[in-house]
Structure 1
Amino acid sequence: MAPPCPPPELMEDLVAEILLRLPPEQSACLVRASLVSKPWRRLLSDREFLRRYRASQFPRFVPTTSIPPLPQPAADWTRAWALDSRHGRVLLLTWRRRLGENLVVWEPATSNWKELPKIDVGPNLSAGAVLCAVDGCHHLDCHGNPFRVVVVVSGPTGTVIWAYLYSSVTNAWSKPASLHSGMDCYIKYMERSTIIGDEIYFDMYNKILKYDLGKHCLSVMVDMPDDSWGNVHMLLEDGSLGLAGIRGSRLHLWSRKANPEGIDRWVQYRVIKLSKTIPINENLGQAARVIGFAEGVNIIFVTNGVGTFQVQINSGQVRKVDDHGSHASEDLLISNALHNSTT
Structure 2
Amino acid sequence: MDCRHGRALFARIWDTSVLMVLDPVSGHQRLVSSPYIHPVSFNAAPVSFSAAVLCAAQGCDHHGCQGGHFRLAVVTTNDVQEVTSGWLYSSETRVWSELTSVHHPNVRFTNLAAPSVLVGDALYFNLDGIIQCQLGTLCLSMLEKPIDGNGTLMATQDGLLGFAAVVDAAYLTLWSREAGPKGAMGWAKLRIIDLEALLPVGAMSLTLEFRRRVHALVISSIAEGTQIIFVIARAGSYMVDLESGRVRPVSSPYMSFYIPAMEAACAGQEQ
Q: TM-score, normalised by structure 2?
A: 0.81
- Aligned with 1:251: secondary structure? strand
Quick one: structure 1 residues 156 and 230, their matched pair in 2 at CA, closer, same or farther if it must change by over 3 Å?
closer
Q: Give the equivalent residue in structure 2 for 1:283.
A: 210
Q: Distance in 2 between matches of 1:186 and 1:87?
A: 29
Q: How does 1:206-225 map to 2 (within 5 A)?
A: 207-222=129-144, 224-225=145-146
Q: 2:176 aligns with which of 255, 261, 281?
A: 255
Q: Distance in 1 between matches of 2:192 and 2:18?
A: 41
Q: Give the equivalent residue in structure 2 for 1:274.
A: 195
Quick one: structure 1 residues 177 and 148, their matched pair in 2 at CA, closer, same or farther if it must change by over 3 Å?
same
Of residues 149-158 and 283-292 in structure 1, the stretch that sits farther from structure 2 once superposed is: 283-292
Deviation at 1:296, TM superposition (A): 3.4
- Which residue identity lines up with residue 67 of structure 2 in the other structure? G
Q: How does 1:92-131 map to 2 (within 5 A)?
A: 92-94=10-12, 101-123=17-39, 124=47, 126-131=49-54
Gaps in structure 2 of 5+ consecutive residues: 40-46, 259-271
- Which residue identity lines up with residue 25 of structure 2 in the other structure? A
- Aligned with 1:116: secondary structure? strand
Q: Is 1:138 aligned to 2:138, yes or no? A: no
Q: Give the equivalent residue in structure 1 for 2:239.
A: 310
- Aligned with 1:335: secondary structure? coil
- Runs of 4+ in structure 1 over 3 Å off: 185-188
Q: Give the equivalent residue in structure 1 for 2:155.
A: 235
Q: Distance in 2 between matches of 1:187 and 1:133?
A: 29
Identity %: 33
Deviation at 1:336, TM superposition (A): 6.5
Gaps in structure 1 of 5+ consecutive residues: 1-82, 323-331, 339-343
Q: Distance in 1 between matches of 2:87 and 2:155?
A: 23
Please list the CA deviations of residues 204-260 of structure 1 after superposition, one character each: whole Å capped at 9, or x if unmatched: 24x2111111111211102x3222x22111012211111111112211111111112
Q: How does 1:1-343 map to 2 (within 5 A)?
A: 83-94=1-12, 101-123=17-39, 124=47, 126-157=49-80, 159-205=82-128, 207-222=129-144, 224-227=145-148, 229-248=149-168, 249-276=170-197, 277=199, 278-279=203-204, 281=206, 282-283=209-210, 285=214, 287-322=216-251, 333-335=253-255
Q: Give the structure with the higher percent strand.
A: 2
State how many pairs are aligned. Answer: 242
- Which residue identity lines up with residue 141 of structure 1 in the other structure? G
- Which residue identity lines up with residue 208 of structure 1 in the other structure? I
Deviation at 1:153, TM superposition (A): 1.1
Please list the CA deviations of residues 262-283 of structure 1 after superposition, one character each: whole Å capped at 9, or x if unmatched: 1111111111111232416351
Q: Give the structure with the higher percent helix.
A: 1
Whether the 8 Å contact between 2:25 and 2:257 is mirrored in structure 1 is no
Q: Distance in 1 between matches of 2:17 and 2:25?
A: 25
Give the number of the structure whose alpha-carbon radius of gyration is greater. Answer: 1
Q: Distance in 1 between matches of 2:137 and 2:57?
A: 17
Q: TM-score, normalised by structure 1?
A: 0.65
Whether the 8 Å contact between 1:290 and 1:301 is mirrored in structure 2 is yes
Q: Distance in 1 between matches of 2:210 and 2:109?
A: 29
Query: Alignment RMSD, CA only?
Result: 2.4
Q: Distance in 2 between matches of 1:231 and 1:150?
A: 22
- Which residue identity lines up with residue 140 of structure 2 in the other structure? L
